Structure formats: C-alpha cells, structure tokens
Amino acid sequence: MKHRFRSSVKDVQTLPGADIDSDHYLLVAKICTRLKKIIRFQKRRPQWDLEKLYTQKQTVQDTLEGELGAIGCDSGNAEVQWNNIKDCVLDTLSDLVGKVEKRARKPWITQEMISKMDKRRKWKNVNTEEGTTGG
C-alpha cells in the first residue's frame, strides 16, 4: 500500500495459491476509504441590482401593490396562487430594477472583454461549421 492509504487498511489475509515456485502471495484486504467529493462550479443566477432597487423603492412598491391587488385572491389552488404572485413579483422586478451585470474581478477588465469571453465560451464546444467560425 502507498503511504497515503496505509491507515485505511483494516484487515489483510493471505489466501492459499497455486503450488508454483513464486515469491508472490495472494492477499485479500478490507479497506475503509472515503472518496474525495469533487465540487463542480455551479452556475450562479444573476442577482437583482439592489442599489437600483433602493433608489426606486417607492415606485417598485406602488407597482407591486397595484399588480397584486389586481390579481385578487381566487378560491383556486394554492399552487396556482403562488405562481401568480411569483410571476407578478419577478415581472415587476425585471421591468423596474433589472439584474446586475457581470463584474470583473480586476479593475482593468472592461465590459467589452467580458462579453467577448462569454461569446468565446459559448462557441468553444460547438463542433459544427458555424461553431468553428465563431457564430
């Protein structure tokens, strides 16, 4: 065993082998190891622009109250009501507030560079004629 896994060996036994002239022995071992969990990068959802939300707080609140009042409380299914409320809030926020643009970690990276990088990343694994020319 390599030194890294030596402490994980719990029990080792030799088994009777064939009667030949060899210095090899057949071993059976019980090993308790844990595999490393590989964390894949998860796609982050774009976040709402909170600065814009705080500056337009009153207009967003008035719009939401108007739209939620127009929905009313139907005597339907709770799932349907929740979807109506969620759609109303998401539509209002996307219209009035918007999402935060992708920000660069380095100050010298411009927004044009980020858009180019996204475009190249999009066409990287496309194996068609259009993909090789870059869209």
Average pLDDT along the chain, 135 residues, taken 10 residues at a time: 81 80 82 85 77 89 88 75 88 87 80 88 80 68
Query: Whole-prediction pTM value?
Result: 0.46
Q: Mark 37-59 as b/e (b = at least 16 C-beta within 10 Å).
A: eeeeeeeeeeeebeebeeeeeee
In the chain, which ranges are E strands?
9-15, 26-31
Q: Which residues contact 28 (CB under 8 A, 6 or more apart)?
A: 12, 13, 14, 15
Query: Which tokens is 118 given?
Result: 């996204």
Other residues' Cβ atoms within 10 Å of the Cβ of residue 21: 4
